[in-house]
Amino acid sequence: MTSRQQLSGPQIGFIIVDKVGLIGGNLFDIPVVAPFPCNTFFVASIRGGDEGNTLIMYFNKLGYPQGTDFTTLKGSEQIFYFFSTLTLGPFYRSVLRFSQPVTNFFVALGTENGNASRYCIACTNDDEMTLRGGIYT
């Protein structure tokens, strides 16, 4: 019996964050573990109808209770928006790229439309990956 060898080169993985059915306001400090060290993250899909909810990524727990509104953030938090409803106009999606690969982080989910959602966050260790056009800027 032989085991599957790991191939060298860039990888892409997917993280599912599913909080569908939870009510009670925005959710903070949801721990996430990437499948391997990644430096680039973007939202690959979101449950239909929930495109207007906020999604952020960060590395240190914020400690905000469930239901805290995103407008109450102090501005000193080190957070990275995948997308936000705090702006008017089209909801563009962000591609988050870090200089050092990360594996563990937290997300906060907005419930601006009344309920939590399901997200698929794509992650890669490919320094040369470019994603632009459409909803990505």
92-113: pLDDT as tens digits = 678 889 999 999 999 999 888 8
CA of 60: how far to CAs of 31, 63, 101, 112, 120, in Å? 10, 9, 16, 23, 21
Q: Looking at residues 16-38, what average pLDDT do you find?
A: 91
Confidence (pLDDT) at 24: 78
Percentage of the chain exceeding pLDDT 70: 84
| pTM (2 d.p.) | 0.84
pLDDT at 56: 92
Radius of gyration (C-alpha) of the chain in whole angstroms: 16
N-term to C-term CA, the chain: 47
Query: Band of the pLDDT at 77, cuts 50, 70, 90?
Result: confident
Q: Is-contact 2 112, C-beta < 8 A?
A: no
- The CA distances from residue 94 to 14, 30, 54, 75, in Å, are 16, 19, 12, 19
CB 2 within 8 A of CB 91: no
